[in-house]
């Protein structure tokens, strides 16, 4: 009886590890893990899933009759309970995410890694800006090589990519028109870049999407921030980032600027201060309602 | 019916708690698994007595060795506990193992890089965190001099280790493939043994985070509200408050700098460093994991000792006017 009990325990253990392993591999590969942890942890989660599957295979080896259960030091049932609980929690959380998935458009990670050509007429000025050195070190090297050969043939204006001091590539950089268009995924990088080089970008036009935060204990009337949630490691360490925006509290924008509303803000960058600390701020020139982004968080 | 209504009304809290629990577990478990794999490799491939032979005999040198080992092994607090247990089983003196346990999560290169990034390239905070972390680790380890290893483990733990070691497959085989198989078996057993405590620790840390979110002390994903945190004028309260917060939040050592740079912005540098130094050394998750893998007495002793030493060190630095150099 004891041996049958041990084998039953091993079977349950094999099932749990197998199920959990497949679940971890699936959420890492599918990108569901982005809702809980930063994308750079996905390979680690997948690796953990594969290890769980290995452990499950070892148990299956015992159950098949080739291995001796005593050699594997069966440790009892109590250890299974937290694993079982966690499996259920994971399923619940994953189902909640999948339900949410059906309401917003999914973008696979590959789609926002590389900048895409933006179709549009290539003007003479546009062609000139492709080879304009402004400043030379700021335009990504790989784009310089692509510009001259492909732009004139394809008839498309290629979006500039900025290479930051730390080597990060940021989309939406238009030095010829003094404009920055912050994509759904580059908020953290652009805010860092603008904060570090505020003087260089003063007077530029910036366009960004975010959720309105206007807590009166933090913001004075006429100021708010279109914020995004920055995930450094996992959901437990979420912090809010955004640029302080200034608007006429009695003007037409006040109808759109409501707490938690998703808006697209366009404005002029200027040097300002917040509670005595200098910071870049945006003078709003245009505000529109916007759809929530596909991925709710931004990553450093 | 009333309970159902309450649950429906609190659905957002439940979803928030689920997200926090799942995120923390997904973040912690891969590194915990790395830790148990590493400790299994050490247990199976390194012969008994080898580490004792190469380890410095001098206690203080051993402690320094442990701190350097923690610096060179970039593991977070989840992975350091299983490695600590294996090192102790292999015969490393308790003070050196304690130095490794407390230093590894805070003073490794990955954490230094994350701190540098979180504080906008401020190198002084990185150096302060690293040096003060090493100092606190050494002082904590010194308190374990003269403590016999056997007294730190409960009867139940000794019995559990005995059960893990039964079966000739675990150690003693010469074939490489058999040793690899033994590594897998041992790591799985250690994971199952400690997984209970790991999950419990994460669950309790989640409860604390949800409670702090409700009370406004700390809110993941929103602007910080400093109304409950101690004001910058009282250094003692600030240090104690930030250490308590670090203990309860149980944040990963690679992300706590980001949180600290936000919530501790208006607090004295000593209080911010108390958060950054004490948090990786000891938190709820670690305490529960340590009490499960070793003993409750050891976990409590380590937590209390580390808390007091960090507090005294930060207070001393603040008192002698060294704060200006910290940040």
Q: In this predicted structure, what is the pLDDT of residue A87? A: 67
Q: Which of residues 95-114 of B touch A (CB under 8 A)?
A: 114
- Tally Cβ neighbours within 10 Å of residue A165: 12
Q: In this predicted structure, what is the pLDDT of residue A113? A: 30
Q: In this predicted structure, what is the pLDDT of residue B308? A: 95
Residues in chain A with pLDDT values less than 70: 1-5, 66-85, 87-88, 90-92, 94-159
Q: Which two tokens stand for residue B100?
A: 């490794």
Cβ contacts (< 8 Å) between B256 and chain A: which residues? 237
CA-based end-to-end distance of chain A? 56
Residue B19 has pLDDT above 50, yes or no: yes
Cβ of A85 under 8 Å from any chain B Cβ? yes
Contact A44 B262 (CB under 8 A): no
Cβ of B19 under 8 Å from any chain A Cβ? yes
Q: Which of residues 299-318 of B touch A (CB under 8 A)?
A: none
Give the distance from residue B95's alpha carbon to the nearest chain A alpha carbon, in angstroms. 30
Token pair 């003078």: residue: A283
Q: How far apart are CA B79 and CA B38, in angstroms?
A: 9
How confident is the model over B189-207, as pLDDT tens digits? 878 877 777 787 888 888 8
Cβ of B171 under 8 Å from any chain A Cβ? no
Which of A94, A228, A236 should one mutate to test binding to chain B, selecting the residue with the greatest count of B CBs within 10 A? A236
Residue B105 has pLDDT above 70, yes or no: yes
Task: Give me chain B's average pLDDT, please.
Answer: 77
Phi, psi of B242 (to 5 degrees): -70, -35
Give the distance from residue B60's alpha carbon to the nearest chain A alpha carbon, in angstroms. 35
Cβ of B23 under 8 Å from any chain A Cβ? yes
Pairwise pLDDT comparison (A142 vs B266), residue with the higher score: B266
Contact A36 B220 (CB under 8 A): no
Helix axes B11-45, A80-101, angle to 10 degrees: 130
What is the three-state SS of chain B? CHHHHHHHHCHHHHHHHHHHHHHHHHHHHHHHHHHHHHHHHHHHHCCCCHHHHHCCCCHHHHHHHHHHHHHHCCCCHHHHHHHHHHHHHCCCCHHHHHHHHHHCCCCCHHHHHHHHHHCCCCHHHHHHHHHHHHHHHHHHHHCCCCCCHHHHCCHHHHHHHHHHHCCCCCCCCCCHHHHHHHHHHHHHHHHHHHHHHHHHHHHHHHHHHHHHHHHCCCCCCCCCCCCCCCCCCCHHHHHHHHHHHHHHHCCCCCCHHHHHHHHCCCCCHHHHHHHHHHHHHCCHHHHHHHHHHCCHHHHHHHHHHHHHHHHHHHHHHHHCCCHHHHC
Q: Which of residues 51-80 of A touch B (CB under 8 A)?
A: 51, 54-55, 58, 70-73, 75, 78-80
Cβ contacts (< 8 Å) between A232 and chain B: which residues? 114, 118, 254-255, 258
Q: In this predicted structure, what is the pLDDT of residue A98? A: 56
Q: Which two tokens stand for residue A200?
A: 């260089």
What's the predicted TM-score (pTM) here?
0.74
Contact A71 B258 (CB under 8 A): no
State ipTM.
Answer: 0.75
Contact A36 B23 (CB under 8 A): yes
Cβ of A33 under 8 Å from any chain B Cβ? yes
Q: How far apart are CA A181 and CA A193, in angstroms?
A: 13
Q: In this predicted structure, what is the pLDDT of residue B28? A: 84
Range with the poorest average pLDDT among A14-18, A79-83, B129-133, B259-263:
A79-83
Q: In this predicted structure, what is the pLDDT of residue B137? A: 92
Range with the poorest average pLDDT among A26-40, B119-133, B145-159:
B145-159
Give the distance from residue A29's alpha carbon to the nearest chain B alpha carbon, in angstroms. 14
Q: In this predicted structure, what is the pLDDT of residue B68? A: 86
Q: Which of A248-257, B7-16, B133-142, B225-234 holds the top average pLDDT?
A: B133-142
Give the distance from residue A64's alpha carbon to the nearest chain B alpha carbon, in angstroms. 17
Residue B298 in contact with residue B88, Cβ under 8 Å?
A: no
Q: Minimal Cα distance from A85: which residue of B?
A: B199
> Number of C-alpha atoms within 13 angstroms, CB side, residue B6?
3
Contact B196 A81 (CB under 8 A): yes
The alpha carbon dihedral of B122, B127, B133, B136 has a sign of: negative
Cβ of B223 under 8 Å from any chain A Cβ? yes
Range with the poorest average pLDDT among A97-101, B70-74, B238-242:
A97-101
Cβ contacts (< 8 Å) between A230 and chain B: which residues? 258
Q: How far apart are CA A60 and CA A70, in angstroms?
A: 14
Of B167, B184, B220, the CB nearest to A71: B167
Cβ of B169 under 8 Å from any chain A Cβ? yes
Q: In this predicted structure, what is the pLDDT of residue A101? A: 53
Cβ of B26 under 8 Å from any chain A Cβ? yes
Confidence of residue B286 (pLDDT cuts 50, 70, 90): confident
Q: How far apart are CA A40 and CA A233, in angstroms?
A: 9
Range with the poorest average pLDDT among A153-167, A251-265, B101-115, B128-142:
A153-167
Q: Which two tokens stand for residue B51?
A: 């580490």
Give the distance from residue B154's alpha carbon to the nearest chain A alpha carbon, in angstroms. 18
Of A54, A78, A93, the CB nearest to B22: A93
What is the three-state SS of chain A? CHHHHHHHHHHHHHHHHHHHHHHHHHHHHHCHHHHCECHHHHHHHHHHHHHHHHHHHHHHHHHCCCCCHHHHCCCCCCCHHHHHHHHHHHHHHHHHHHHHHCCCCCCCHHHHCCCCEECCCCCHHHHHHHCCCCCHHHECHHHHHHHHHHHHHHCCEECCEEECCCCCEEECEECCCCEEECCCCCHHHHHHHHHHCHHHHCCCEEEEEEEEECCCCCCCCCEEEEEEEECCCEHHHCEEECCEEECCCCCHHHHCCCCCCEEEEEEEEEEEEECCEEEEEEEEEEEEECCCCCCCEECC
Q: In this predicted structure, what is the pLDDT of residue B258? A: 77
């Amino acid at each position: 009886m004891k041996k049958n009990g041990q084998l039953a325990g091993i079977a349950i253990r094999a099932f749990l590890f197998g199920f959990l392993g497949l679940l971890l591999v699936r959420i890492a590969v599918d990108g569901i893990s982005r809702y809980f942890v930063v994308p750079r942890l996905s390979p680690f989660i997948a690796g953990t899933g594969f290890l769980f599957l290995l452990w499950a295979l070892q148990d299956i080896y015992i159950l098949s009759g080739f291995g001796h259960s005593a050699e594997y030091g069966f440790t009892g049932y109590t250890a299974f309970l937290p694993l079982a609980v966690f499996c259920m929690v994971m399923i619940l959380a994953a189902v909640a995410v999948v339900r949410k998935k059906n309401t917003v458009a999914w973008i696979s990670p590959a789609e926002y890694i590389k900048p895409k050509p933006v179709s549009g007429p290539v003007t003479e000025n546009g062609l000139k800006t492709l080879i304009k050195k402004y400043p030379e070190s700021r335009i990504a090297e790989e784009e310089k090589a692509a510009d001259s050969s492909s732009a004139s043939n394809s008839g498309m204006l290629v979006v500039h990519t900025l290479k930051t001091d730390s080597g990060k590539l940021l989309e939406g950089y238009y030095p010829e028109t003094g404009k920055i268009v912050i994509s759904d995924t580059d908020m953290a990088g652009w805010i860092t870049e603008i904060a570090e080089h505020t003087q260089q970008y003063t007077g530029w036009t910036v366009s960004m999407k975010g959720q309105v935060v206007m807590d009166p204990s933090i913001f004075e009337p006429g100021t708010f921030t279109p914020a995004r949630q920055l995930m450094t490691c996992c959901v437990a360490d979420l912090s809010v980032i955004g640029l302080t925006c200034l608007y006429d509290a009695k003007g037409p924008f006040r109808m759109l600027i409501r707490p938690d509303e998703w808006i697209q803000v366009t404005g002029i960058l200027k040097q300002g201060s917040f509670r005595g600390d200098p910071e870049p701020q945006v003078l709003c020139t245009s505000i529109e309602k916007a759809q929530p982004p596909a991925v709710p968080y931004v990553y450093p | 019916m009333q309970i159902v209504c309450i649950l429906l009304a609190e659905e957002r809290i439940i979803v928030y708690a689920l997200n926090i629990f799942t995120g923390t577990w997904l973040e912690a478990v891969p590194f915990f698994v790395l830790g148990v794999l590493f400790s299994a490799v050490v247990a199976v491939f390194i012969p008994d007595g080898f580490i004792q032979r190469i380890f410095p005999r001098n206690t203080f040198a051993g402690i320094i060795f442990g701190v350097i080992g923690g610096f060179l092994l970039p593991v977070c607090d989840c992975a350091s506990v299983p490695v600590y247990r294996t090192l102790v089983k292999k015969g490393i003196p308790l003070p050196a193992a304690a130095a490794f346990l407390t230093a590894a999560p805070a003073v490794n290169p990955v954490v230094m890089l994350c701190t540098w990034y979180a504080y906008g390239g401020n190198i002084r905070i990185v150096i302060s965190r690293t040096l003060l972390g090493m100092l606190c680790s050494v002082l904590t380890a010194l308190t374990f001099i003269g403590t016999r290893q056997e007294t730190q483990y409960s009867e139940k733990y000794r019995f559990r280790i005995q059960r893990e070691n039964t079966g000739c497959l675990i150690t003693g085989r010469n074939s490489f493939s058999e040793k690899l198989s033994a590594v897998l078996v041992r790591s799985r057993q250690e994971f199952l043994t400690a997984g209970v405590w790991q999950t419990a620790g994460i669950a309790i840390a989640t409860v604390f985070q949800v409670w702090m979110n409700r009370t406004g002390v700390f809110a993941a994903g929103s602007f910080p509200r400093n109304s409950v945190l101690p004001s910058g004028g009282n250094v003692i309260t600030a240090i104690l408050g930030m250490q308590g917060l670090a203990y309860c939040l149980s944040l990963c050592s690679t992300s706590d700098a980001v949180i600290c740079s936000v919530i501790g912005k208006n607090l004295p540098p000593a209080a911010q460093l108390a958060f950054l130094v004490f948090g990786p050394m000891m938190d709820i998750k670690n305490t529960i994991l340590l009490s499960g893998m070793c003993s409750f007495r050891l976990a409590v002793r380590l937590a209390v000792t580390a808390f007091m030493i960090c507090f005294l060190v930060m207070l001393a630095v603040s008192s002698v006017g060294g704060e200006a150099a910290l940040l």
